[in-house]
Amino acid sequence: MKEKRKLIKINLIAREVKRKKVPSHYLNFLPVLLGVVLGVIIALGMDYVYNSRVNRLKREVEAKRSELKVLSPYVKKLKETEAKLSKLKKMKQIISEIIKEAHVPLKVIQTVEASIPYEVWLREMDLSGKKLKLKGYSLNDEKIADFLENLSKSELIAKVSISYIKKVKVNKIPVKEFSAEVTIK
């Protein structure tokens, strides 16, 4: 009889390894985990950047402080000099105003002197602030009018007004006495 041979089949190809399935709740957690890891990496990077900036700024502050220590005596002297300069400017302004006002009486006298005709003479001049009171004599009214007109043409004079004109005798000579008020600019 013939023997039946039995064939044994040997599969040399490895069996397909069954893949283990990752549970789905782990797959849902994966993006969160990646986000956290990425966030930590970004936070560490930003921490490094900001710490380096802070350190650089600290070095700059320290350098400025040392520079300030060196310059502080000069800054103090500069402030003192600026205060002195400001004080001198105020003094200069005051002196200029005093000089300007000091020349006013002289300018008024020069203006009156330049305006007075030959036949008019003054008996009294009173300067008080911006008002000048004049009293004097003349042989006639026209010369008084000429005098007041000449005064009013001056740059220094703002207004001229006559208070009175009257007949009087001086050393038995008939003359006209007048009084005028002048406003100075």
> How far is the CA of 139 from the CAs of 80, 97, 98, 99, 168, in angstroms?
66, 41, 39, 38, 10
* Contact partners, residue 5, CB within 8 Å, separation at least 6: none
In a domain, 4, yes or no: no
Confidence at residue 156, expressed as pLDDT on a 0 to 100 scale = 85
In a domain, 68, yes or no: yes
121 with 179, same domain: the answer is yes
Q: How many domains does the chain have?
A: 2
In a domain, 8, yes or no: no
Confidence at residue 162, expressed as pLDDT on a 0 to 100 scale = 92
144 with 179, same domain: the answer is yes
Confidence at residue 2, expressed as pLDDT on a 0 to 100 scale = 61
Ranges under pLDDT 50 in the chain: 17
84 with 41, same domain: the answer is yes
Confidence at residue 24, expressed as pLDDT on a 0 to 100 scale = 66
Could you list the residue range(s) of the whole structural domain that residue 162 is in?
Answer: 116-184
In a domain, 15, yes or no: no
Confidence at residue 183, expressed as pLDDT on a 0 to 100 scale = 92
